[in-house]
C-alpha cells in the first residue's frame, strides 16, 4: 500500500471534496444507469438508491470502509423475469428479499464466523456462475446493438452507433491514462452519443420537455403495488445473492489490500455485508435495482490514494441530488439503445471473463473430475436456461437454478478442498510464523 494522500477519516477542502467526489460519481455512473436501462426501471431512482444505499453502508460500517454501491449486473436477468411475471412490484419484492438474505448472512457471520460461507461459495462454484451471468446476457446486448429499438428489424445505421461506442470504450479501456482508465464506460457512452447525434438517431424531445427539478418515478410498496411474496419470486431472486455475496467478499479483500486495513476483521465482514444488504433493501423500497459494491470505485481509490470516506459520502450525496434533476435524467433516457448495446457487448463479456479469471487466479484444476463436473453442470444449466416448475407459483430457472445446483454439487461430491475456509487467516499466520522465525 502506498502512503495515502487523504486517509480514511481525513476531511478534504471544499474544492477537493467536490472534485474528488465527482470522480467517484463518474466512475460508477455508466454501469449504474445501464442496469435500469436494461431492466426497464428509472435511471433517476437508480442514482438516488445508489446514493442512499452508499450512505447507509457508510453508517453501518462506522465510516471505516470507503466503498460505493451501484446497480448490480448479477440481478439483470432475474429482475427482467420478475417484471415479466408480476410487474415492477414483483421485482421490488424480490430485490428486498435478496437484501434480507444479506442481513441473515451478516447476523450468522457475526455469530458463527465467516469460514462457513467460504465453504459454501468456493471459486469452483462462483466462477462458472459469474460466467453464466455474462454469457446469458449476450443475446440482449447484440439485439440492442443491431436492431431498430423495440423491434427485431436489423439496422446497419443503428449497428454503426453500437460499433463506434464499442470501439471508443475499448480504446479508453486500453489506452486511457489516469482517471480516463477508470471511466471507459462513461467515455464510450459520450462518444457513442455524439456519433448518434451526428447520424440523427437521438430524440431530444424529452429533454426539452423536462423541468430542471422533477419528482422521480418512485415505486413504493402498498402505494404502487400490493405486497405478495410467492415462491417463484423467492427462487428467482434470492439464489442470486449467492453470487453477489461472493463478489462482496472479493471486493472487501481487494479494498483491504488497497487501503492497508483488514476489513474482514474490523469493522467486520458482517457489517459490510449488512451494509450491502441494507442498500439493496432501500433500493427495493423505492423502485431501484439491487445494489453491490463497485470495483470501479475501488480502482479510483487505488489510483488517487484518496481513501477518505467523506469523498465517497460526497459522491453519494451528488448522485442523490442528480436523481431529482429532470434535465439530467431526461438526457440519460435520450441515450440511444444501440449505444447502450455497444457498451453492453464489452461489459457483459468482461463479466464472463472475470469468472474465468477467478478460476485461473484460484488455480482450479480442471484435470480434477470433481471440478470439471461442478463447473460444467453450472455452465450448461445456466446458459441453456434450464428450469424446474412444480406449479404456477413455484419455478426456479436459469442462473438461480445453476447457482443452487452448483452449491449442492460442491457440498455432496467427495474430495472438497478444506483449505478454502482459512483463506483470510493464512496470510496472517504466515506473517506470524516469519516473525517467530526471525525472533
Distances (CA, A) of 362 to 2, 35, 65, 356: 26, 29, 25, 10
pLDDT at site 433:
47
pLDDT at site 58:
97
N- to C-terminal Cα separation, the chain: 25
Give me 202's grid cell: 437521438
pLDDT at site 418:
67
The residue extents of the domains of the chain are 14-124+148-340
- Residue in the block written with cell 487501503: 259
Distances (CA, A) of 226 to 219, 222, 229, 290, 344: 11, 5, 10, 20, 33
pLDDT at site 304:
80
Residue 345: which residues within 8 A CB-CB, separation 6 or more? 141, 142, 145, 162, 166
Q: Walk along the chain (439 residues) in steps of 10 and give the mean pLDDT of each run.
A: 82 88 86 88 94 97 95 89 89 94 94 82 87 87 91 93 95 79 81 96 91 92 88 84 82 86 90 96 95 87 88 95 92 90 88 86 91 95 86 72 90 76 45 47
Residue 276: which residues within 8 A CB-CB, separation 6 or more? 57, 69, 102, 244, 248, 291, 292, 293
pLDDT at site 186:
83
Nearest one of 4, 28, 102, 22 to 295, comparing CA atoms: 28
CA distance 325 to 288: 17
Kindly report the CA angle at 340 between 338 and 344, in degrees rounded to 5?
Answer: 110
Amino acid at each position: 500500500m502506498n502512503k495515502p494522500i487523504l486517509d480514511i477519516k481525513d476531511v478534504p477542502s471544499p474544492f477537493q471534496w467536490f472534485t474528488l467526489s465527482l470522480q467517484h460519481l463518474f466512475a460508477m455512473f455508466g454501469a449504474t444507469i445501464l442496469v435500469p436501462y436494461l431492466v426497464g426501471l428509472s435511471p433517476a431512482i437508480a442514482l438516488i438508491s445508489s446514493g442512499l444505499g452508499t450512505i447507509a453502508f457508510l453508517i453501518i460500517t462506522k465510516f471505516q470502509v470507503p466503498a460505493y454501491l451501484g446497480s448490480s449486473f448479477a440481478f439483470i436477468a432475474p429482475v427482467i423475469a420478475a417484471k415479466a411475471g408480476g410487474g415492477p412490484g414483483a421485482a421490488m419484492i424480490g430485490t428486498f428479499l435478496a437484501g434480507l438474505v444479506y442481513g441473515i448472512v451478516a447476523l450468522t457471520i457475526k455469530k458463527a464466523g465467516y469460514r462457513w460461507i467460504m465453504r459454501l461459495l468456493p471459486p469452483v462454484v462462483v466462477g462458472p456462475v459469474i460466467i453464466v451471468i455474462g454469457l446469458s446476457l449476450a443475446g440482449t446486448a447484440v439485439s440492442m446493438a443491431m436492431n431498430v429499438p423495440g423491434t427485431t428489424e436489423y439496422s446497419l445505421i443503428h449497428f454503426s452507433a453500437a460499433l463506434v461506442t464499442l470501439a471508443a470504450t475499448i480504446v479508453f479501456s486500453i489506452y486511457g491514462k489516469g482517471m480516463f482508465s477508470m471511466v471507459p464506460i462513461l467515455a464510450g457512452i459520450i462518444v457513442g452519443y455524439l456519433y448518434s447525434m451526428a447520424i440523427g438517431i437521438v430524440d431530444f424531445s424529452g429533454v426539452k420537455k423536462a423541468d430542471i427539478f422533477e419528482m422521480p418515478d418512485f415505486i413504493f410498496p402498498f402505494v404502487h403495488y400490493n405486497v405478495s411474496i410467492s415462491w417463484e419470486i423467492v427462487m428467482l431472486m434470492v439464489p442470486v445473492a449467492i453470487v453477489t455475496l461472493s463478489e462482496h467478499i472479493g471486493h472487501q479483500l481487494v479494498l483491504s489490500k488497497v487501503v492497508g486495513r483488514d476489513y474482514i476483521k474490523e469493522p467486520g465482514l458482517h457489517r459490510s455485508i449488512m451494509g450491502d444488504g441494507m442498500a439493496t433493501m432501500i433500493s427495493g423500497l423505492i423502485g431501484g435495482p439491487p445494489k453491490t459494491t463497485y470495483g470501479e470505485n475501488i480502482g479510483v481509490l487505488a489510483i488517487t490514494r484518496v481513501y477518505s470516506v467523506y469523498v465517497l459520502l460526497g459522491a453519494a450525496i451528488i448522485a442523490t441530488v442528480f436523481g431529482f434533476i429532470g434535465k439530467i435524467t431526461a438526457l440519460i433516457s435520450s441515450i440511444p439503445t444501440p449505444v447502450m448495446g455497444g457498451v453492453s457487448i464489452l461489459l457483459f463479456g468482461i463479466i464472463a471473463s472475470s469468472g474465468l479469471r477467478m478460476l485461473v487466479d484460484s488455480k482450479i484444476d480442471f484435470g480434477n473430475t470433481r471440478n470439471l463436473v461442478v463447473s460444467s453442470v453450472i455452465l450448461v444449466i445456466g446458459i441453456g436456461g434450464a428450469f424446474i416448475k412444480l406449479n404456477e407459483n413455484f419455478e426456479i430457472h436459469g442462473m438461480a437454478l445453476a447457482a443452487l445446483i452448483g452449491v449442492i454439487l460442491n457440498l455432496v461430491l467427495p474430495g472438497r478442498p478444506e483449505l478454502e475456509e482459512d483463506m483470510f487467516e493464512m496470510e496472517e499466520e504466515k506473517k506470524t510464523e516469519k516473525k517467530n522465525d526471525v525472533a
